Structure 1
Amino acid sequence: MNFVNTKRRMPRLIVAALPAALALALSPAAFAQQAGTPAGGERCADASAGDPSCKAGDAQQLDTVEVRGVRGSIASAITLKQNSLQITDSIVAEDIGKLPDNSVAAALQRVTGVQVARGAGEVGTVLVRGLPDVVTTINGRNVFTTTGRSMALADIPADLLQRVDVYKTSGADNIEGGIGGLIDVRLRRPFDFDDDWTLAGSARAIYSRNSGEADPNGSLTANRIWNTDAGKFGVMASVSYQSQRYQESNTFDGIYTLKDNPLGTGDQIYIPDTIGSIYTLGDRDRRSANLTFQWAPNENTELYFENFYVGYRNDNQVNFWIPLPTLVNSGNVVSLTTKPGTNVAQSITARDLFTLTSNQAYANSSDTYQSAIGGSWQGERIKLSTDLAYTYSKADNRNFILDTAFIAPLMTMSFDNGGASNAVVTNYDGSAFDVNDSSKYWLHQYYDGWSRQVGKDWSWKGDANIRVDAGPLTFIDVGFRASRREAENVAADTGGRTNISGTTVFVDDFDGLASLTPSNFLNGNRNTSTNQWMVADRGYLLANAAAIRAAMGYDPADPAANPTLYFNDKEDTYAAYLQGRYSLHIGDMPLDGAIGLRAVKLDSKLAGTQVVDGVQSPVNIDKSNDQFLPSFSANLGIRDDLLLRLSYGKSITRPSFANLNPQLTLFQPTATVAANGSGGNPDLDPVKSENIDLSLEWYFQPSSLLSLAAFHRSIDGYIQTYASDETIDGVTYSVSRPRNTGHGTLKGVEVAYTQFYDFLPGWLSGFGTQLNATFIDAATQSPTGEMQDLVNVSKRAYNAVLIYQKGAFSSRLAYNWRSKYALSYTASGDQPQSIYVAPVDSLDFAMSYDLDSSMTISVEATNLLDTVTRNYFGNQSLFPRDVGVMERTFSVGLRFRF
């Protein structure tokens, strides 16, 4: 297929079809009004939000046998998907405090079309259909961390959730801001419980294999419901605590420089500037709480008051071992080998080589609070709802990095030992050299920094769902949302500061500064010679930074805030939408869907600092932006169990507040350096996407699904950072800043299959499987006009889950694989500038047993394959970069409910 031509035609065809579809939907003479829709009622625009087309709870009620546990979770998710007006996928908690995985981000990796990246002992980055640009909401309200546009899904506690909905298409009633979609986290509310009194909780111990530590995790939920003459009252309080001490390690090759062969042979050799090893260690905990009140004074009215808190703490460090092959020259080289048939160095042996170790010490914390009050009233043909919310989020981050140095008498460095680098240090006579001996080290340089971020948001929305039953037009949805958002960043960063005291400062000059790294590097999976080394102690660095500053000749006080890192941005957003839902028949086939438009106005005030040759001046910019986002969906019931969906819409992603920072730093030209500068870009436009989706879903038996989906995104204005000439006050500068680039496309196909094998005899009838695959082709225009694959997007991703549930026993074995993907295109050096991550997989296991109707024990394990991760510069065989081993965890737990 000629995709270029198809790309140009498809949006036009859809746009051309919209008037015809609208006329079709609104013409009572053309088709009979639909008498019924899937799952026994009107399809739900948002069942959980109280859409009048869905009676309370309908979206989770199965019209088949009652099921529990992992099977009940999957069955409920399938029913939600079938009843949704949009193309969605959901994850439903198996029980109070039990999502299928231990975090929202980890659970989402099982969803068709979702790709994730792991690091620091957990699942971190989440992409929906290849895009990280998603809106995160809690109970339908936008939520974020400090100056970010969204909240890290790993920060949202799985213990408190009812379910997670992934919206892959957008309706007019969805909050704008994510070209990748929307992820809505649904917390439990008091009226979700049937009993007057409910007490539920969990306790778990997680053992991290690499760190060798076990950590407690737990949650507790208490719910009380009263039925009184004044109506129904409910109050629910939930708390959760999650902690983990983690450890990961990897080798690295730095950028390669094409240099004259130090052996003096006249040829040039690619030699990495640095190589070495890294330990990443941390002690991370998340604490959260949810306090919710509900009151239904009558059967038509409901009021609520919700309060949610999540806190994050991470005391972590990164320990580096850094040999410097770039310092090898004709005066200290002993030997050099190249990879056969190439001019890429394989190994070098050198004398008297300056070598570094480093500890990057961090103390990071954040606290996010959200309170909301609202309610709804259900009339005979109309439902009115409103919600007022306030969000406050703050973060304090501290870092101190100290590089320590020694001279290696004789060092042999290998740059590709099965993809991993290695360095062996000996004395001149070949005897062992002790890299753990702190007396050999001195202080070389330090980096010092801190930051404080604050985010605030007031938001209000009002919605009306009106049943009209005017021919095929069944509902009109109308609503308005207003928000005032503020994001502020204050930070300091000294950059590297070498010793200017005039004397050598030794590590042993400070009592307690020296420490040793762990010794189980790569868990023994690779033949590395330096598995442990001396580094500065993390606790000492953060507690005694003043002493180190003074000893190296600097002011002992904490560094002052850097004005170029400061920004204060304020945004006022006003959004209104109008959406019509229709329901009709084409012959015997029911057709329903929605046609809508969302109009958004954004007024911004951006404040930062401009620095020209050291002279500071404030910068204040006001800007405004209007967007009109149409949407269309059609859902055709080919048979009772076969559903065809078509969706079209436009969506946007707003630039990050950091990218919008109006700060600008300029340097006048000199005799040797051209005029240059760097800054943010307050003129950035939102990234725009035109979206087409098609999905065929076969619900061939209860709790089972076979689906095929295709999607196309036409993206304009993707944001990349690069340098371009700008004329300012008559001087032309080469200014590096984030900029909107050209056109890009993303297209793909998803296949999903879920089934439980009830037809098998006896105990075999407890088996089930979930299989899905995603194929994506995504590219965007680079600053030079070339087409490049989108970063972080794998072309292929697979999930395979084997499930068993019979009686009191259930288990799940889940495998995940994704193909290679681009990490960056901006590496410096003479090797290829692209960095790719090699294919990566993971295998996780979970098992539980119901001791009785109120207590369940569980055992879980992650990373059973002990996955080795790799990335490389352009060509894996020539220019390897990193080889690492991820954390593996085992846990045992108890859940209860009374």
Structure 2
Amino acid sequence: MTWRALMLGAVSSIGLTSAALAQDTSPPIDQTPPAENETPSDVGTVPADNQQPSAQQPIVITGIRSSLERAAEIKQNADQVVDSIIADDIGKFPDPTTAAALQRVPGVQVTVGGNNEITGVLIRGLSDILTTVDGRELFSTAGRTFEFQDLPAEALARVDVIKSSTADLIEGGIAGITDLQLNKAFDFQDPTVVVTARGNHASNTDTITPQLGFLATDTWETGIGDIGALINVTWSSTDYNRPYFYVPVRRSGTFRFDTPGVALPNVNGGLNEYGNYERPQANASLQWQASSELEIYADGLFTGFRSDNQSAFVETQFFNEGTEVSDIVTDDNCFDARVTEGGFNPRVIQNPNQNGGQPFLEDFTVQNLCNVTSATFRNARAFTSAQSRTAETNNYLGALGFRYEKDAFKLDGDFSYQDSTYTNETFIVDIGKPIEEIQVVTNDGNGGRYFQPGNPLYNPDGFFFRNGLNQNFTRTSGDMLAAQLDAEYEIGGIIDRIQIGGRFADRSARSDQALVNIGAPGGDMVTPISDATGLPSDFLVSTPGIPRQNNGAPVLIPNPDYLRSDEGRDYLRGFYGLPLGDPEYQAERRFDAQEKTYAAYIQAAYDIPLGDTINIDGLIGVRPTRTERTIAGAGLVDGVPVPVESSTTDTDVLPNASARIDFGGGLQARANYSKTVRRPGFGSLNPGVSYVIATNPNVINSGSAGNPDLRPQKSDSYDATLEYYFQNGFLAVAAFYREISDRIITSASAEVIDGNTYNISRPRNLGAAELKGVEVSGQTFFDFLPGALSGFGVFGNYTLVDSEVTAEDDNLFGETLQGVSKHNFNAGLLYEKFGLSTRLVYTYRSRYYDGDATGLNIVRPIDADRVDEVFVPTVLNYVRPGGRLDLSIAYDLNEDIRLTVGGTNILRNKYKSYFQESYLTRDVRYDDSIYTFGIRARF
């Protein structure tokens, strides 16, 4: 029997049983986070059977234990399959950002971004997540997702990761929904002020940077009702450095060196991503209890990002005329490959003027190539590059709403407006020189290394301008006006309550870009830097260094601060022959989108007895939606921008059904079905085409385009769980199955435009994919142990995910989905007693691939019986397994003062990747270890 049949059978059988039986509803457990000033007796956990603990068995919980047990309550009583994170108290979230906190949730995987922040959140291997804040949709600029790292953990009261959908939830996340809940004034009993301060020490930079937070709230009794106000402000500044070492593309040695039978590296190099970023954040709430039935509120949220940063590249290119190679060492990894005259993999060419318009392969020969593990090159060309950037993000969200509740009737209305903008200015200058010798190791079991005798790239003499000057100025923005109305009427009996509601959202998104790329004056490696007599004396500056390059010795690059200055930019523009001043946004690189979404829902909650101790309840609902979208862009025809516009309308009907059986004694089971939808991102829908001719002779021309014909992704989602809750913890097993249609991916293919060949990246609907798996999670504290040992506890979760592309006509047929690790787990040791709270957590994920490198020109294995087929063998960039160990320790000096220390990635895990075959190493990236110390004071 298939996974789908099993899951559907579980939902159907429970649903059929529920139609024949009835029982009264038990009162729900309060799911709100603990108020700041609750006494210990107020925060006791209600046991799973909804019975209060006896006087002989008091439960007093605080801190980490309080947050874990409240999260278990939410999981137990939620209408959906939910896992939650609760801030055990204001300012006590142990992780610095929302993304970092989410990695502890069962089924959630994360990646590390270029600035060493936790980012790239996935739920059960899928990135298609809808983010809401207090139930309102939240996004970043022109995208569909929210950058979780923009919201610090100190701003949060709670995060719910909702893995199964119901009709009352906003549509848009086939992976799930993350609901970020902020603190509100009415959550507090007394006037409260909380101040937090933390110092963060990054190992890669050896600097200490600040992280600050402030919260103040109060409630007043007035003649017109109770009024509460809260403000929360946070700010952080972070220095970072993330070194990379890479061996990107293999190339047949026959072309340049007359060394048949070897796959040599085309280039070898690395980079430092380094700089500083700041994150300001503020949120506020105003609540007015106008009467016992009516509450009126206003909420506001601002998140920001500011950064001056740079990528410092250092690279040696081996396939230049005059370069020599010797001391070649290969291993036993040999393969047949199709090879062009230039030593690359042949591309599939799509040209309407050749081969009757049918795709065809570039000319090639078949060669047997062996992997080169080390070699020495002489008379090669090396270059360094400064890619200087200035970036800024501003997200604003404001909302007004009301809650009305009288007897069995509830009515909620919410009206919100969001505005989000992102700007980035990138200015790139490359310099280079010939070098006498470089000794390269491509694979030493740890990813490779190289050594240049004398470190010539740290000598300021002999540099030339090379490759070119690149300006990339972008601005993206988005806004949305949304209105939502929800009503609920409690009936009682078999049909416990009826919910109806509707939502309207008016969304717009814009993107502008100026991309200017011009070759070096006089050509590559022709004009010495000394010819630019107007450059300052500090034009060349030192980089931090890369561990696998010259043992971490620094090199010289153009000064990134000078490249960020108006004076520096204009001098170099004039020297390269470009107009002065910032380039104007280009019509062919712009899109403007307008989208209106209409949604309504009706949902019934049922509650049915199955005897004296067993009860079944659940939801049955449907959510019809309609989306009307227009997106305008431009494409180049003979070098002239030509406007292109596309309009689409999508109508979807999204049903859901769920059942929960409460067997009593803390044991319960669930079965859920829902249909979910994910609309394409606006950038992916852009009908325009953008491309550029490369000035680097070792890089092929490239470009990107959208696809206005993209269809929304859809998923039939099935979930089943078995959960057992006991006084000190819980155990849960969940099985899930997702049948996904019209999955969207982006890949590159060769296209001929105006006589030039470009690798153009386009998104497309994959066709079909499926994802299935099992989650196991649990937590407990060892209260039965004597004395101090009773403070120990453990928690853990393991997720097995099996995914597959099932579209037979796709080159990824049979592959897993991008970003999906098969094995994932968290294992944590806890201790809380005598004012001490500690947490030691190890987070692991197995191999996954984070990119489709098929469009690159790397030589690759080809099956003998497919040599003459017009296709490109798949090459994926796989990330090797890895794990991170994190530690947090907090000590309460008294009820108002808490001291904290901690560390993330304290075992110094690195990102390591390879091309398709494990011996074709690609990247080693040095993830940082961050050590923190801080204080929290409450008044």
| TM-score, length of structure 2 as denominator length | 0.87
Q: Quick one: structure 1 residues 167 and 824, their matched pair in 2 at CA, closer, same or farther if it must change by over 3 Å?
A: same
Secondary structure of 1:498's aligned partner: coil
**C-alpha separation between the residues in 1 aligned to 2:170 and 2:462?**
59
Alignment partner of 1:492 is 2:514 = yes
Q: Using the TM superposition, name which of 839-848 and 496-505 deviates more.
A: 496-505
Cα deviation, 1:155-202, whole Å, max 9, x if unaligned, reads 11211111000000001011100100000000001101011x111120
Q: Using the TM superposition, name which of 242-251 and 362-371 deviates more.
A: 242-251
Secondary structure of 1:783's aligned partner: coil
Q: Quick one: structure 1 residues 340 and 514, their matched pair in 2 at CA, closer, same or farther if it must change by over 3 Å?
A: farther
**C-alpha separation between the residues in 2 aligned to 1:700 and 1:116?**
30
**C-alpha separation between the residues in 2 aligned to 1:421 and 1:840?**
18
Alignment partner of 1:184 is 2:179 = yes
Q: Is the 8 A contact 2:424 2:473 kept in 1?
A: yes
Cα deviation, 1:493-520, whole Å, max 9, x if unaligned, reads 1245332489714067421453444456
**C-alpha separation between the residues in 2 aligned to 1:799 and 1:207?**
24
**C-alpha separation between the residues in 2 aligned to 1:289 and 1:61?**
34
Deviation at 1:13, TM superposition (A): 4.4
Deviation at 1:885, TM superposition (A): 1.7
Alignment partner of 1:153 is 2:178 = no
The one-letter code matched in structure 2 to 1:598 is R
Secondary structure of 2:442's aligned partner: strand
Deviation at 1:754, TM superposition (A): 0.2
Q: Using the TM superposition, name which of 824-833 and 575-584 deviates more.
A: 824-833
Q: Is the 8 A contact 1:439 1:506 kept in 2?
A: no
Secondary structure of 2:72's aligned partner: helix
Report what 1:653 is aligned to.
678
Aligned pair partner of 2:24 in 30, 34, 41 = 34
Q: Is the 8 A contact 1:791 1:822 kept in 2?
A: yes
Q: Quick one: structure 1 residues 658 and 582, their matched pair in 2 at CA, closer, same or farther if it must change by over 3 Å?
A: same
The one-letter code matched in structure 1 to 2:2 is T
Aligned pair partner of 2:860 in 822, 825, 831 = 831
**C-alpha separation between the residues in 1 aligned to 2:646 and 2:45?**
49
Secondary structure of 1:79's aligned partner: helix
Deviation at 1:742, TM superposition (A): 1.4
Cα deviation, 1:596-643, whole Å, max 9, x if unaligned, reads 001101011111113222232212222111011001111101223011
**C-alpha separation between the residues in 1 aligned to 2:160 and 2:812?**
37
**C-alpha separation between the residues in 1 aligned to 2:777 and 2:564?**
50
Aligned pair partner of 1:317 in 310, 318, 335 = 310
**C-alpha separation between the residues in 1 aligned to 2:703 and 2:180?**
42
Aligned pair partner of 1:416 in 440, 443, 448 = 443
Report what 2:469 is aligned to.
446
Deviation at 1:726, TM superposition (A): 12
**C-alpha separation between the residues in 2 aligned to 1:614 and 1:434?**
42
Cα deviation, 1:479-506, whole Å, max 9, x if unaligned, reads 0000100000011112453324897140
Secondary structure of 1:697's aligned partner: strand
Secondary structure of 1:327's aligned partner: coil
Q: Is the 8 A contact 1:43 1:85 kept in 2?
A: no
Report what 1:787 is aligned to.
814
Deviation at 1:6, TM superposition (A): 1.1
**C-alpha separation between the residues in 1 aligned to 2:381 and 2:561?**
26
Report what 2:459 is aligned to.
437
Deviation at 1:663, TM superposition (A): 1.4
Deviation at 1:862, TM superposition (A): 1.0
Q: Is the 8 A contact 1:501 1:552 kept in 2?
A: no
The one-letter code matched in structure 2 to 1:870 is K
Secondary structure of 1:564's aligned partner: helix
Report what 1:6 is aligned to.
2
Q: Quick one: structure 1 residues 757 and 537, their matched pair in 2 at CA, closer, same or farther if it must change by over 3 Å?
A: same
Residues 510-549 of structure 1 correspond to what in structure 2 (within 5 A)? 510-519=535-544, 521-522=546-547, 528-529=550-551, 531-543=553-565, 544-549=568-573
Residues 137-536 of structure 1 correspond to what in structure 2 (within 5 A)? 137-195=132-190, 197-260=191-254, 264=258, 267-327=260-320, 332-340=324-332, 342=334, 343-426=370-453, 432-444=454-466, 445-469=468-492, 471-495=493-517, 497-500=519-522, 504-506=527-529, 509=533, 510-519=535-544, 521-522=546-547, 528-529=550-551, 531-536=553-558
Aligned pair partner of 2:578 in 521, 546, 554 = 554
**C-alpha separation between the residues in 1 aligned to 2:124 and 2:741?**
17
Q: Is the 8 A contact 2:543 2:556 kept in 1?
A: no
The one-letter code matched in structure 2 to 1:883 is V
Secondary structure of 2:2's aligned partner: helix
Deviation at 1:839, TM superposition (A): 0.5
Report what 1:52 is aligned to.
none
Report what 2:587 is aligned to.
563
Alignment partner of 1:78 is 2:72 = yes
**C-alpha separation between the residues in 2 aligned to 1:725 and 1:256?**
19
Q: Quick one: structure 1 residues 122 and 658, their matched pair in 2 at CA, closer, same or farther if it must change by over 3 Å?
A: same
Q: Is the 8 A contact 1:824 1:834 kept in 2?
A: yes
Alignment partner of 1:663 is 2:688 = yes
Secondary structure of 1:420's aligned partner: coil
Q: Is the 8 A contact 2:134 2:179 kept in 1?
A: yes
The one-letter code matched in structure 1 to 2:470 is Y
Q: Using the TM superposition, name which of 633-642 and 84-93 deviates more.
A: 633-642
Q: Is the 8 A contact 2:29 2:46 kept in 1?
A: no
**C-alpha separation between the residues in 2 aligned to 1:250 and 1:665?**
28
Alignment partner of 1:885 is 2:926 = yes
The one-letter code matched in structure 2 to 1:137 is T
Cα deviation, 1:650-690, whole Å, max 9, x if unaligned, reads 001111110011214799xxxxxxxx996311111110000
**C-alpha separation between the residues in 1 aligned to 2:826 and 2:455?**
48
Report what 1:698 is aligned to.
724
Report what 1:54 is aligned to.
none
Q: Is the 8 A contact 1:300 1:377 kept in 2?
A: yes
Q: Is the 8 A contact 2:450 2:549 kept in 1?
A: no
Report what 2:345 is aligned to.
none
Alignment partner of 1:122 is 2:123 = no
Residues 571-650 of structure 1 correspond to what in structure 2 (within 5 A)? 571-587=595-611, 588-650=613-675
**C-alpha separation between the residues in 2 aligned to 1:501 and 1:192?**
67
Deviation at 1:812, TM superposition (A): 0.6
Q: Using the TM superposition, name which of 784-793 and 866-875 deviates more.
A: 784-793
Q: Quick one: structure 1 residues 66 and 620, their matched pair in 2 at CA, closer, same or farther if it must change by over 3 Å?
A: same
Secondary structure of 1:238's aligned partner: strand
Q: Is the 8 A contact 2:197 2:936 kept in 1?
A: yes
Q: Is the 8 A contact 2:97 2:153 kept in 1?
A: yes
Q: What is the number of residues matched between the two proteins? A: 851
Q: Is the 8 A contact 1:593 1:633 kept in 2?
A: yes
Cα deviation, 1:347-405, whole Å, max 9, x if unaligned, reads 22232211111111111111010000001110101100100000011111110111110
Q: Is the 8 A contact 2:545 2:552 kept in 1?
A: no
Cα deviation, 1:199-251, whole Å, max 9, x if unaligned, reads 11201111111111111111101101001231110011110002210111121
The one-letter code matched in structure 2 to 1:193 is F
Q: Is the 8 A contact 2:272 2:312 kept in 1?
A: yes
Report what 1:875 is aligned to.
917
Secondary structure of 2:319's aligned partner: helix
Deviation at 1:59, TM superposition (A): 12
Aligned pair partner of 2:786 in 745, 756, 761 = 761
Q: Quick one: structure 1 residues 677 and 441, their matched pair in 2 at CA, closer, same or farther if it must change by over 3 Å?
A: closer
Aligned pair partner of 2:771 in 719, 729, 746 = 746
**C-alpha separation between the residues in 2 aligned to 1:527 and 1:873?**
21
Q: Quick one: structure 1 residues 364 and 678, their matched pair in 2 at CA, closer, same or farther if it must change by over 3 Å?
A: closer
Which ranges in structure 1 are unaligned for 5 or more consecutive residues? 49-56, 427-431, 668-675
Deviation at 1:22, TM superposition (A): 5.8
Cα deviation, 1:694-721, whole Å, max 9, x if unaligned, reads 111110223x011110000000001123
Q: Quick one: structure 1 residues 785 and 35, their matched pair in 2 at CA, closer, same or farther if it must change by over 3 Å?
A: closer
Deviation at 1:113, TM superposition (A): 0.6
Which ranges in structure 2 are unaligned for 5 or more consecutive residues? 34-41, 54-58, 335-369, 693-701, 862-874
Deviation at 1:438, TM superposition (A): 1.7
